[in-house]
Structure 1
Amino acid sequence: MTMTALPGRGGELAALLLRVAEGLRGCAGCEIYLIGQDAADPDTVRVTEVWRAEDDARAALAAPPPAGAPAPADVLALLSAPPHRTDLTVLGGVGLPAGDQP
């Protein structure tokens, strides 16, 4: 997912998303949740997520955030435009346990 922060607030957005990632530690079905900031445009932040199943991702999004974790509305308040989501079918690679790759 690509997110564009309000001008000059990319660092704040990235920090908030890192807190979201901490709240997902141990979350059922969350294999990867990476936050990256564009080196050429720090107001562009990308989130790479891999979930065991779409239902796991939906359940995590619907659940109340853990204590101290930001709510989705907190993230949305920092965006200058709606996030852009790209869905992929994971074929394999490095980073997932061997038994979880197709």
Structure 2
Amino acid sequence: MSTIPRVGRIMTFTAKPGRGAELASIMLQVAEGLRGSLGCELYLVSRDAEAPDTVRVVEAWTDFASADAALATTVATHADIDLNAVLGMLAEPPEQIDLDALGGVGL
């Protein structure tokens, strides 16, 4: 088990029917924008195999303040990431689950 405290987050985004691939593409752009961000240890974007309009992001950070700051900066500084467009393609509000990341493979 890791002794370095970390936090995790699982985000679930449900796109309007047929827009899951488009949503996943934008979330991958967010991931690219986070490369090298202070505190970001993992930002994994996946589509649900059984429900392709559902996109999940699994994150690991040194702390939630780093996560919130890095995500805000990435969205604000990358013109190709339009938060309003993302919100417009969602069928429902995103679900956020915050976690105490204890360790495991890759952490």
- How does the TM-score come out when normalised to structure 1? 0.86
Q: How does 1:2-17 map to 2 (within 5 A)?
A: 2-17=12-27
Q: Could you list the per-position Cα deviations for residues 17-41 of structure 1 after superposition, in whole angstroms to 9, with x for gaps in the alignment?
A: 0011000001111110000001111
> Quick one: percent identity of the two aligned structures?
54
Q: Does 1:71 align with 2:70?
A: no
Equivalent residue runs for 1:1-102 within 5 Å: 1-63=11-73, 65=75, 66-96=77-107
Structure (1/2) with the larger strand percentage: 2
Note the C-alpha offset of 1:87.
Answer: 1.1
* Whole-angstrom CA distance in 1 between matches of 2:80 and 2:40: 16
> Residue 6 of structure 1 contacts residue 80 of structure 1 at CA under 8 Å; is this kept in 2?
yes
* Larger RCO of the pair (alpha carbons < 8 Å, separation 6+): 2
Q: Structure 1: 5+ residue runs without aligned partners?
A: 97-102
Report the alpha carbon displacement of residue 67 of structure 1 after superposing the two structures with TM.
3.3
User: For the aligned residues, what is the CA RMSD?
Assistant: 1.4
Q: Does the 8 Å contact 2:14/2:94 carry over to 1?
A: yes
What amino acid maps onto 1:12 in structure 2?
E
Q: CA deviation at 1:2?
A: 0.7
In the alignment, the residues of structure 2 paired with residue 69 and residue 29 of structure 1 have an alpha-carbon distance, to the nearest angstrom, of 23
- What's the secondary structure of 2:43's corresponding residue? strand
Aligned-partner Cα distance in 1 for 2:33–2:56:
18
Matched AA of 2:65: D
Which sections of structure 2, spanning at least 5 residues, go unmatched?
1-10
CA distance in 2, matches of 1:25, 1:48: 15
